[in-house]
Amino acid sequence: MLRLIFVIGTGSFAGGVARFLLSRFIHSQADTGFPLGTMIVNITGCLLIGMFYGISERSDFFGPEMRMFLTVGFCGGFTTFSTFAGENIALLKDGNFLYFLLYTGLSVFLGLLAVYLGNLFIHKIL
């Protein structure tokens, strides 16, 4: 178990650094108020996690540790949006349409609300 935690942590570190570097590069190239870097990172992460899951479903190319390194670690560190999208696809593949709608709707709404309330809370106490 400790080895798996190290594998995932290493992947997460690499993904977080990659996210920072790619987002920073995009922002330096595109002078806009639109969060283009974050959007591209999120979409790229979704593409990558889809590819990694597809490869692991169709072949034994990745062992269990490599799959965890790439999906939970790297993609999770790169963007949690990719994990969110991957979980939603799994719900749709399993025919869990109600859970898909609940998970998507509640995650977006409650996530935005939590950011707003957290910010409001800090502004009120400081």
Q: What is the 3-state secondary structure (H, E, C) of 81-121?
A: HHHHHHHHHHHHHCCCHHHHHHHHHHHHHHHHHHHHHHHHH
Contact 30, 94 (CB under 8 A): no
Average pLDDT over all residues of the chain: 91
Structure confidence at residue 123 (pLDDT): 84
Structure confidence at residue 92 (pLDDT): 96
C-alpha to C-alpha distance for 93 and 112, rounded to whole angstroms: 27
Q: Which residue has the tokens 């593949």?
A: 93
Domain spans in the chain, listed from the N-terminal domain onward: 2-79
**Predicted model pTM:** 0.77
Q: Residue 83 — very low, low, confident or very high, per pLDDT cuts 50/70/90?
A: confident
pLDDT at residue 126 greater than cutoff 80: no
C-alpha to C-alpha distance for 76 and 91, rounded to whole angstroms: 18
Contacts of 35 (CB under 8 A, 6+ apart): none
pLDDT digits (tens, 9 = 90+) for 17-71: 999 999 999 989 988 888 888 889 989 999 999 899 888 888 888 889 999 999 9
